[in-house]
Amino acid sequence: MKQHRTAAVARRAIGRQWRRGGRWHALDGADGVPEQRRRTADVVVDCAVYQDGCRAASLPPQQVLDEARKRGGFAWIGLHQPEAEHLEEIARVFGLHPLAVEDAVQAHQRPKLERYGDTLFLVLKTIVFVEHEKLTATSEVVDTGELMIFAGPDFVVVVRHGSAPGLSQVRASLEASPEMLRHGPAAVLHAIADRVTDDYLDVADAVELDVDTLESDVFSANHGDDAERIYQLKRELIEFKHAVYPMARPLERLTDGADGLINTEMRRYFRDVSDHLSHVKERLTAYSELVDGLLAANLSQLAVQQNVDMRRISAAAAILAIPTMIAGFYGMNFRHMPELGWTFGYPLMVGVTAVLSAVVYRAFRRIGWL
């Protein structure tokens, strides 16, 4: 019910819009004052018809699907952070399911693959490495974005959110490979999934440098308390894993061809993407285990250092206890005490104190406490 209410709100928002000078405007309910809104064309990155592996025409979203069906090809439209009213307009043209449209608007979805009739809805998490000079307790290492892909027999609609990189290179690469593009929407799905997985590998390489640097710092001679830096890297790795691990199941379904849209030839390509993803998962598992080991090693080093400090403090306290004890005896102010009337009494006590302190100091040095 919630999804249908959201769709209804979006339809009412579109119904209150009016067009002037080639732009969409909205009427305020109170006084009817027009308020400028982004047009659907403003969120469209590219929109084209493909026929026999070649780009045949570039058309507005409202016309591209009809043209693709006339030509026997498919339509490919890319959107960047559309709002509800924009996607509702696209949904009417391409016949997209309201539940999938709501997910595409709200974003913040886990990687998944769902089927609505003859349309696949694929969600992918993208990862971007955030450049930083040195890993600190507040450094951001990775940033996530999202790609929502609607794929039908004769169309592909790609919705991009957050820091997800643009797909212009993916489109250009496919347009340069007509043999691959002839496979239709399945080829687009593969190209996008392959690009996302390759980005995972690149980010994994960059994260590995941070792990190696942190390992060197932890085991360096002048190391300090690196627990906060380790926890920060561990948290960023968890965010990375949340993007990578759930993607395995959708790729497995695409590899098996259980959803009908993927032919036998394209399954081989998806199997290659799945292998790359498995490699990324293995590396992330290794990084996580190494970071856990670094945390344990850092805590052990701190415990050892604290133990050493306590030994030194205890040894120093034992040495200082000797003159304190002797001075305490002679500070009692009794009338009759040994050597009070002797001229060399004071030098004798100083000498005895120094000798006893030296003996205790040597003993602690011998057992390694000093």
Domains and CATH numbers, the chain: 1-37 (no CATH), 38-300 (3.30.460.20), 309-366 (1.20.58)
Please give the structure tokens belonging to residue 151: 């794929």
**Of the given ranges (108-112, 224-228, 342-346), which has the lowest mean pLDDT?**
342-346
pLDDT at 298 over 90: no
Average pLDDT score over residue span 118-138: 91
Please indicate, yes or no, whether the overall pTM of this predicted structure exceeds 0.85: no
Strand partners of residue 121: 114, 150
Q: What distances in angstroms separate CA 147 from CA 6, 130, 279, 316, 350, one per listed residue?
A: 21, 19, 21, 64, 82
For residue 158, the model assigns a pLDDT of 95
Backbone angles phi, psi at 189, to 5 degrees: -60, -45
For residue 41, the model assigns a pLDDT of 66
Q: What distances in angstroms separate CA 88 from CA 64, 77, 104, 110, 256, one per listed residue?
A: 16, 14, 11, 22, 32
Q: Within a 10 A sphere around the Cβ of 269, how many other Cβ atoms?
A: 21
For residue 339, the model assigns a pLDDT of 65
Q: Which helix (H) or strand (E) holds 187?
A: helix 185-218
pLDDT tens string 251-287: 998 888 766 788 888 999 999 999 999 999 999 999 9
Q: What distances in angstroms separate CA 351 from CA 323, 325, 344, 360, one per listed residue?
A: 11, 14, 11, 14
**CA separation for the pair 154, 77 (Å, rounded):** 12
For residue 358, the model assigns a pLDDT of 87
Backbone angles phi, psi at 309, to 5 degrees: -60, -40
Average pLDDT score over residue span 241-255: 92
Contacts 24+ apart (CB under 8 A), 191-194: 192/124, 192/147, 192/149, 192/158, 192/167, 193/122, 193/124, 193/251, 193/254, 193/270, 193/273, 194/269, 194/272, 194/273, 194/276
Average pLDDT score over residue span 217-245: 87
**CA separation for the pair 83, 91 (Å, rounded):** 12
Average pLDDT score over residue span 17-37: 36
